[in-house]
Amino acid sequence: MSLYEVQRLFYELGVNRELHDRFQADRAAVFGGYEVTAEERAAILDLDVPRLSQMGVHPILLLQYARSQKLPTDDFLRMLRGEGRGASKERG
Amino acid sequence: MTMGGIVAGMAAIHAPMMANAPELAPAAQRERVFGAFRALGASLREARPDLLLVVANDHFNNFFLDNMPAFCLGIGEAGEGPMEWWMPLQRRRIPIHQPFARALLRAAVAEGFDLAFSEKLRLDHSVMLPLQLMGAPDVPIVPLLQNCFIDPMPTPRRCLALGRLIRQVAEAGPWRVAVLGTGGMSHWVGVPRMCEVNEAFDRRVLDLISRGDAEGLAGLTDPEIEAAGNGAHEIRNWITAVGATPGHKGRTLAYEVVPPWVVGAGVVALEV
């Protein structure tokens, strides 16, 4: 677990437009700067909202990341409530 | 003798949906809330302030978990915002009233409030959105960001005391100071209960303010506030603004339960 690093990535995507653009262009490429586990990396890349929430990502950072990935709020909430595609992808 | 003091006091929500998707609220509600914002703007212009102190909070747009101040005062030359590029608001650079900011910082430290300070705050929607909805006059601001999202947060009692100190500094100086607290009321952000509203909590806060019951506001506990949502903690910004007014008292200009805006939408004019 490296929750701090997951959250640092989300924070920096919010405040650093250049990083955000780079991430959008090639999402895998920015991970070198963050010490996240393979599981965390997968949850980030899959936009696995329930898993990220379960890991303890702060709700504001989670919402901001979802917004930055153009996930509509309704879908975000459905996933968070376990009603959407996120729940079906939940990992053990 | 000085001519300074608190010349206007306001508290209002800063829900991003008011900018992102205002049309999701029924037209009548939207008009009542936006009309109340415009009324605040009109009274602010009449008050002819030299500066507007905006008590707001960061949303991980300045501070992260590596360094999280309870209170941070903006003392640089200017602030720019909103920094959220996805928000359809006009980007502006607003000068900071440095003489008042410095006077407040020095007085705060002398009185036991060791405020953090920043010469380069990013202004987010918590500052910029209310100003835009109010049609606020073009006066310098002083941003004061309070931690309203990361436990432990400053207590409401501490916020009230900081508000009282702001008033002391205003009254000791030559400047006409307006104060605006933004955020709240009940709402949940980024959690499954998002889009719920706790009207009972909101009405209770509005009632405490209408009666000038500062002790009631100071005594709000974290569990009581949390029952109105993780976003309700922003009510601390209102409490600081209330503390800066002489009677700790105000009048509700609008209150609407607006689930599509994810918020209990309150707008309050404080007595000065």
Q: Which residue has the higher pLDDT, B86 or A41?
A: A41
Average pLDDT over residues B64-83: 97
Quick: pLDDT tens for B194-208: 999 999 999 999 999
Instruction: Please check whether residue B150 touches A, CB under 8 A.
Output: yes
Cβ-Cβ contacts under 8 Å, A61 against chain B? 60, 190
% pLDDT > 90, chain A: 85
Give pLDDT tens digits for B140-177. 999 999 999 999 999 999 999 999 999 999 999 999 99
Q: Is the pLDDT of residue A87 over 90?
A: no
Q: What is the pLDDT of residue A86?
A: 45
Chain A hits for B194, Cβ within 8 Å: 73, 77, 80
pLDDT value, residue A1: 61
Q: pLDDT tens digits, residue range A63-74?
A: 999 999 999 999
Please give the average per-residue pLDDT across B87-91, as a whole number.
91
- Look at residue B111 and tell me whether its pLDDT is greater than 50: yes
Q: How far apart are CA B211 and CA B249, in angstroms?
A: 6
Residue B184 burial (CB count, 10 A): 32
pLDDT tens digits, B2-55: 689 999 999 999 999 999 999 999 999 999 999 999 999 999 999 999 999 999
Tokens of A52: 């990220």
Q: What is the pLDDT of residue B19?
A: 97
Q: Is the pLDDT assigned to residue A91 strictly greater than 60?
A: no
What is the interface size between A and B, counted as CB pairs within 8 Å? Answer: 50
Percent over 70 (pLDDT), chain A: 89
Whether the predicted interface score ipTM is above 0.90 = yes
CA gap B146, B126 in Å, rounded = 11
Residues of B within 8 A of A68 (CB-CB) are 86
DSSP annotation string for A25-82: H-GGGGGGGS---HHHHHHHHTT-HHHHHHHT--HHHHHHHHHHTT--HHHHHHHHTT
Assess whether pLDDT exceeds 50 at residue A51.
yes
On the question of pLDDT at A41 being above 90, the answer is: yes
Spatial CB neighbours of B195, under 8 Å, sequence gap ≥ 6:
A77, B188, B259, B260, B262
| CB neighbours of residue B20 within 10 Å | 18
- pLDDT over threshold 60, residue A85: no
Residue B85 — very low, low, confident or very high, per pLDDT cuts 50/70/90? confident
Confidence of residue B127 (pLDDT cuts 50, 70, 90): very high
Q: Which of A13, A64, A75, A79 to mutate to probe the B interface, most B CBs <10 Å?
A: A64
Best A16, A19, A60, A81 residue to mutate vs chain B (most B CBs within 10 Å):
A60
What pLDDT, on the 0 to 100 scale, is given for residue B7? 98
Looking at every residue in chain B, the average pLDDT score rounds to: 97
Q: What average pLDDT does the structure give for chain A?
A: 90
